[in-house]
């Protein structure tokens, strides 16, 4: 339908940010029962002190002084979206506590016996690397925590969390959005519910959720928590326009969201991983019901944040619930914590621009958390101690073992999802566990390294901070190993293309990610964005081109496996890791490839579904439309005398050409706008512009089919060739070829799903 070159994550243009509005409502305070720790931890002084309110933050020590210490903070355009709002307390409720368990005596090998790491060395290295990468990538603020066991080696902020007036990042109180790192909280609570016997790994999830919220087709294989933890639920990924919401008036609670936006099941559960935010949010909702919690944010507070003293961590968000509001939203974020939130920023090439709060309350438990480096340092210490630290029991030994044991059997070094945690092998060779995450503006990464008894957390508040968040933990591990520079991998002479043509030809081609929508206009757009091209150079390097850029891979010693040429590289290699091509039998073409990150597969597509094919066919379509108008002008200047039916067909073709051109260029204009403001794909979908393009294409299709139906009248005349009356033979042939091509183009658009504007 349009000449599509892919959607790039370029800088976004500024937009107006509406202020928070509405009237707060006062109700009696909540009587939420917190998580009940084991007897061994009841007297621990490190837990939240008696009577403390986790919704009320501690003062920001030195915040004012640190903000004024900067003589020339970066310029900014500041929004008004984080003005103070009054929270409405939740109604009284009861949360089932986790049954107390004895402290874990034995821990995993390599967790406790470690050589102490120098805190000064960590700080010196982190200062140099983080500041350099922040300057390179135009990242306004970052917050970092590094712990070894129960010892914080570094908890430090860099840059600013707000501008005008400038406020420096405080690692204790500056709250950053952490995207999918939030899933770590959900999986911890899941293990608690498994320990209590209220949830089973292989029990159908529908047993925990009302049927009017989520239901399954009886013909489907039952969906279980095991599937949701390993992202093997079989869901398509339909998230455009509703994963994040910038307008608080459009917010809805999880139940309402699930009723409206349940994605389709495109494969039976358990086949392979394809990352699903919906699946994790569904699991979180189920857990809130088995635990008898009011909502997911309340559950996380009672089970994790309050016991660990994480008083600047929350799943709540700033909005106003007015009288008579029926959206079933959780209690909003308190005014004090609202003031602690960092703004999200973009770099537009000249200045930092603050963006609207990217609400995700409907997907609570999957992407909606906000936290500080200090709080995450506390959580990492407990995770390194197998869920037991300072007398606090967060989960037992079985759960600790589950968080280190992949659910899926994958090739060595490939993520098998350890009870929902990502299992990754760093370039240094260390096996790590944790989760990364992003929102529209923030990027974060949580990495646990059991062999070093080390935890690393980093978060950034700028859209361009993805490379810093993803790369810093690996750089730090390389530094601790004393191996900062690695030579790029190179193919051996016997891996060159010339000697392996048949094998490499079976691999190269176009592949599309399974993490996408599978139908309609969203399916077409996500297919265009998520198609990868695999080529092989003469030396035997595999070149992978995706929306994230281009990366080179080198054949591994194992057949059909490829490793990134640069272990610290960015682009597709930085996100995907190694590649494993799935070839059914010798001599056949690869049908798909899986990645070390195991967040999706890439499946081979035929030529009709290649973006290049659509681009080429669209260029031909534009050319035919221009030729129609040229022929129209030629006919007027030559005073041709077509029959009445031919004259009518000529005018209709000219009109349809105009419709097709407007449709194509409208779609391209929408695409060009995404290059400047990529977040619109998530926050303004479907836009009126792209829907208009689709409707115009439908109009063009109807007109074309009408023309085909009128062909008998166009060709039904006594002369086979006439100069003075009727079309010449070549004109009739040209008209037939035109309609044939337009019909073919319509079929291609329908195949892609571009003729479904709603």
* 593: CB partners within 8 A, 6+ apart: 511, 534, 579, 580, 581, 582, 601, 602
- Per DSSP, what are the bridge partners of residue 144? 156, 458
Integer CA distances (angstroms), 755 to 187, 242, 263, 613, 758, in order: 40, 22, 20, 17, 9
Are the beta carbons of 396 and 105 closer than 8 angstroms? no
> Which residues have a Cβ under 8 Å from the Cβ of 638 and sit 6 or more positions away?
none
Q: Give the pLDDT confidence score for residue 673 in this predicted structure.
A: 86
- Residue 757 contacts residue 686 (beta carbons within 8 Å): yes
CB 300 within 8 A of CB 375: no
Distance, in Å, from the CA atom of 578 to the CA atom of 565, rounded to the nearest integer, reads 10
pLDDT on residue 328: 85
In angstroms, the Cα distances linking 732 to 622, 711, 724 are 21, 10, 15
pTM beyond 0.85: the answer is: no
Distance CA 175, CA 313 (A): 7
The Cα-based distances of 136 to 91, 160, 335, 468, 623 in angstroms read 48, 16, 35, 10, 43
Interatomic CA distance for residues 7 and 746, integer angstroms: 23
Block means of pLDDT (10 residues each) for the chain, 758 residues, are 35 33 36 40 34 37 36 52 35 42 33 71 97 97 97 97 95 98 98 96 95 82 96 94 90 90 93 97 96 96 96 96 81 96 95 95 95 98 94 94 97 96 94 97 97 98 95 94 84 94 96 95 93 96 94 95 85 92 92 97 94 95 94 64 82 94 95 81 88 96 93 70 66 90 96 90
Under 8 Å between Cβ of 257 and 497: no
The first and second tokens of residue 592, run together, are: 């798909």
Give CA separation, 345 vs 163, 318, 361, 464, 696, in Å: 10, 17, 20, 9, 36
Q: Show the domains of the chain with their CATH numbers.
A: 80-134+152-371+438-451 (3.40.710), 493-605 (2.40.128), 611-752 (no CATH)
């Amino acid at each position: 339908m349009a000449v599509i070159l892919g959607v790039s994550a370029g800088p976004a243009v500024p937009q107006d940010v509406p202020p928070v509005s509405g009237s707060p409502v006062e109700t009696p305070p909540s009587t939420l029962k917190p998580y009940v720790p084991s007897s061994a931890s009841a007297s621990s002084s490190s837990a939240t002190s008696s009577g403390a309110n986790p919704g009320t933050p501690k003062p920001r020590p030195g915040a004012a002084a640190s903000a004024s210490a900067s003589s020339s903070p970066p310029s900014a355009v500041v929004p008004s979206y984080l003005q103070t709002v009054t929270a409405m307390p939740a109604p009284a409720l009861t949360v089932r506590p986790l049954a107390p368990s004895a402290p874990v005596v034995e821990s995993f090998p390599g967790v406790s016996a470690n050589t102490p790491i120098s805190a000064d060395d960590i700080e010196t290295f982190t200062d140099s690397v983080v500041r350099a990468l922040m300057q390179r990538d135009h990242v306004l603020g970052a917050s970092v925590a590094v712990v070894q066991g129960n010892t914080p080696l570094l908890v430090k902020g860099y840059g600013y969390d707000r501008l005008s007036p400038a406020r420096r990042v405080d690692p204790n109180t500056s709250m950053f959005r952490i995207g999918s790192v939030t899933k770590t909280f959900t999986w911890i609570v899941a293990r608690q519910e498994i320990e209590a016997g209220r949830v089973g790994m292989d029990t159908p999830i529908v047993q925990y959720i009302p049927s009017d919220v989520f239901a399954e087709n009886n013909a489907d294989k039952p969906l279980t928590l095991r599937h949701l933890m390993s992202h093997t639920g079989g869901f398509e990924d339909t998230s455009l326009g509703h994963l994040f919401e910038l307008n608080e008036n459009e917010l809805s609670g999880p139940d309402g969201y699930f009723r409206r936006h349940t994605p389709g099941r495109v494969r039976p559960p358990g086949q392979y991983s394809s990352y699903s935010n919906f699946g994790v949010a569904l699991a979180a909702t189920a857990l809130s019901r088995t635990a008898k919690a009011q909502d997911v944010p309340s559950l996380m507070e009672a089970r994790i944040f309050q016991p660990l003293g994480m008083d600047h961590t929350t799943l709540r968000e700033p909005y106003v619930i007015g009288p008579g509001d029926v959206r079933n939203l959780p209690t909003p974020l308190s005014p004090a914590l609202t003031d602690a939130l960092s703004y999200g920023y973009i770099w537009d090439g000249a200045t930092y621009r603050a963006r609207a709060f990217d609400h995700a309350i409907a997907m609570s438990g999957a992407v909606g958390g906000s936290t500080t480096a200090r709080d995450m340092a506390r959580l990492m210490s407990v995770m390194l101690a197998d869920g037991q630290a300072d007398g606090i029991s967060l989960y037992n030994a079985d759960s600790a073992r589950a968080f280190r044991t992949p659910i899926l059997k994958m090739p060595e070094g490939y993520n098998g999802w350890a009870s929902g945690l990502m299992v990754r092998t760093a370039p240094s060779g260390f096996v790590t566990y944790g989760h990364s995450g992003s929102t529209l503006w923030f990027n974060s990464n949580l990495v646990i390294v059991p062999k070093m008894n080390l935890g690393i957390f980093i978060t950034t508040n700028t859209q361009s901070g993805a490379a810093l968040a993803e790369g810093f933990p690996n750089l730090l591990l390389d530094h601790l190993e004393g191996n900062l520079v690695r030579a790029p991998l190179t193919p051996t002479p016997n891996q060159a293309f010339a000697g392996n043509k048949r094998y490499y030809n079976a691999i190269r081609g176009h592949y599309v990610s399974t993490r996408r929508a599978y139908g309609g206009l969203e399916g077409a757009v996500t297919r265009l964005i998520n198609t990868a091209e695999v080529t092989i150079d003469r030396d035997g390097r595999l070149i992978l081109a995706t929306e994230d850029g281009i990366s080179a891979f080198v054949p591994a010693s194992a057949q059909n496996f490829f490793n990134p040429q640069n272990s610290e590289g960015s682009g597709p290699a930085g996100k995907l890791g190694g590649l494993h091509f799935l070839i059914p039998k010798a001599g056949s073409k690869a049908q798909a490839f899986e990645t070390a990150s195991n967040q999706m597969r890439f499946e081979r597509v035929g030529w009709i579904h290649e973006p290049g094919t659509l681009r080429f066919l669209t260029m031909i379509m534009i050319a035919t439309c221009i030729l129609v108008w040229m022929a129209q002008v030629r006919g007027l200047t030559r005073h041709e005398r077509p029959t009445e039916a031919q004259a009518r067909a000529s005018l209709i073709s000219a009109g349809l050409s105009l419709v097709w051109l407007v449709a194509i260029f409208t779609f391209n204009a929408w695409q060009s706008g995404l290059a400047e403001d990529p977040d619109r794909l998530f926050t303004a979908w479907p836009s009126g512009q792209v829907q208009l393009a689709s409707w115009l294409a439908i109009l063009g299709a109807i007109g074309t089919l009408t023309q085909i139906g009128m062909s008998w009248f166009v060709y039904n005349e006594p002369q086979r060739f006439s100069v003075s009356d009727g079309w010449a033979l070549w004109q009739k042939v040209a008209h037939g070829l035109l309609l044939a091509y337009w019909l073919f183009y319509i079929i291609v658009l329908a195949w892609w799903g571009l003729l479904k504007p709603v």
